[in-house]
Amino acid sequence: MSLARRLLIRASRSPWLAEQFRRRAFARRAVRRFMPGEDLEAALDAASRFAAEHIGAVLTELGEQVRSRDEADAVRRHYLQVLGEIERRRLGSHVSVKLTHLGLETDPGACRRAVNELAARAKAAGSLLWLDMEESTYVDKTLEVYRAARGSGADVGVALQAYLRRTPKDLETLLPLKPWIRLVKGAYSEPAHVAFPRKRDVDEAYFELAGRLLGEAAKGRATPIFGTHDQPLIERIRRRAADLNAARGSYEIHMLYGIRADAQRRLAGEGERVRVLISYGTAWFAWYMRRLAERPANIWFVLRNLI
Ligand SMILES: Cc1cc2nc3c(=O)[nH]c(=O)nc-3n(C[C@H](O)[C@H](O)[C@H](O)COP(=O)(O)OP(=O)(O)OC[C@H]3O[C@@H](n4cnc5c(N)ncnc54)[C@H](O)[C@@H]3O)c2cc1C
């Protein structure tokens, strides 16, 4: 992992920097490249525009690691409102939550109940609930919540990170649940004994996991989502899907709002199921630093806005 990437991820944890950034107009302008606006309305409007281009959406309110039960409960209520809007507008958008935003650390029992409640509400709204994956210290707890929810019949998906050395084993333990899995490379800074430090190894691990998931998808036993902007990797995966007779529609490709919009449209035009993950909310600092860390060249874009 490059020094720039490590520094940006470290910066993402600074409340002081977060406050400084949020106050600056140039930073708010720069962040708009990756989000349509801070409020839910802007995200819903963007989802409607994507729907007109046959691209689905996944909505997520930015935020993580709430400090009180009241804050976590407000997040739960907010997502119920989001699902109500998705139903009212017949958008079919999915929603994605971070468990530390739903109070995983302040009240794990309430967090589990919230996941079940949101999954049921999502199903009724023609949506689907997704659980993001956070730092490696949360993987066990996140998978525990996922297994409990999915094991009791809830429709819910979970993200797995290809950079983690443990992920092939985690995937095997999840497959009996007929899971929805969003496979991503991984966005945090992890030690080398936990995650592959070299991009080449992460990409290969991703492709291996993708093949395993597609094999299950071809038999109707899993629904893989490939959450990546890596075009050569996506093309390899599409070829592998064809080899394994995994029909279009048995898997999806998801990307982030504002990244590779050209590829999103092209893939949708070629008949792939594509969704864009749309983030909104005021707590964008940590998330934005992770976007900069993925491509440190993005810092020039911030500086251009400053000038
Ligand atoms: C739908 C979705 C959900 C995600 N959910 C999670 C999650 O739950 N947990 C988690 O840890 N991570 C999550 N991520 C982030 C993910 O782990 C990666 O950090 C991120 O997707 C960058 O990796 P990549 O697969 O695009 O490949 P890379 O090899 O990093 O990038 C491939 C190409 O994509 C473009 N690109 C990638 N990132 C950027 C960027 N920030 N700015 C501009 N161009 C860029 C560049 O052209 C780059 O060459 C998610 C990503 C997506 C798309």
CA of 229 to the centre of ligand 1 (A): 6
| 83's tokens | 């699902």
Looking at residue 305, its pLDDT comes to 67
**What pLDDT is attached to residue 180?**
98
- The one catalytic residue among 76, 112, 121, 132: 132
Residue nearest to atom 33 of ligand 1 (CA): 230
pLDDT score recorded for residue 135: 95
| Multiple choice CATH, 36-283, 3.30.70.20, 3.20.20.220, 3.20.20.140, 3.40.50.300 | 3.20.20.220
Examine the residue annotation and report whether 182 is marked as an active-site residue of this protein: yes
295 ligand 1 Cβ < 6 A:
yes
Q: Which of 112, 182, 238, 291 is catalytic?
A: 182
Please tell me the chain's helix, strand, coil percentages from 3-state DSSP, rounded to the nearest 5: 55, 15, 35
- 164, 133 contact by CB (below 8 A): no
**Tokens encoding 163:** 């950079």
User: Partners of 58 in the beta sheet?
Assistant: 94, 277
pLDDT of residue 7: 84
* pLDDT given at position 307: 66
- Would you state the pLDDT for residue 283? 84
Contacts of 306 (CB under 8 A, 6+ apart): 26
256 in ligand 1 pocket by Cβ < 6 Å? yes
pLDDT, mean of each 10-residue run, the chain (307 residues): 81 85 83 92 97 97 91 97 98 97 96 97 97 97 97 95 98 98 95 96 98 97 98 98 94 97 97 97 87 80 69
Under a CB-based contact definition with an 8 Å cutoff, are residues 289 and 6 in contact? no
Q: Is the distance from the beta carbon of residue 171 to the nearest atom of ligand 1 less than 6 Å? A: no
Note if 147 is an active site residue: no
Does residue 263 have its Cβ closer than 6 Å to ligand 1? no
pLDDT of 27 reads 83
Ligand 1 atom with the shortest distance to the CA of 98: 8
Does ligand 1 come within 6 angstroms of the Cβ of 85?
Answer: no
Q: How far is the CA of 259 from the centre of ligand 1 (A)?
A: 9
- Predicted pLDDT of residue 295: 83
Which is nearest to 251 in space by CA: 307, 182, 301, 192? 182
Structure-block tokens of residue 45:
């409007």
Least Cα distance to 140 among 174, 188, 180, 107 occurs for: 174
pLDDT at 2: 79
Cβ(185) to ligand 1 under 6 A?
Answer: yes
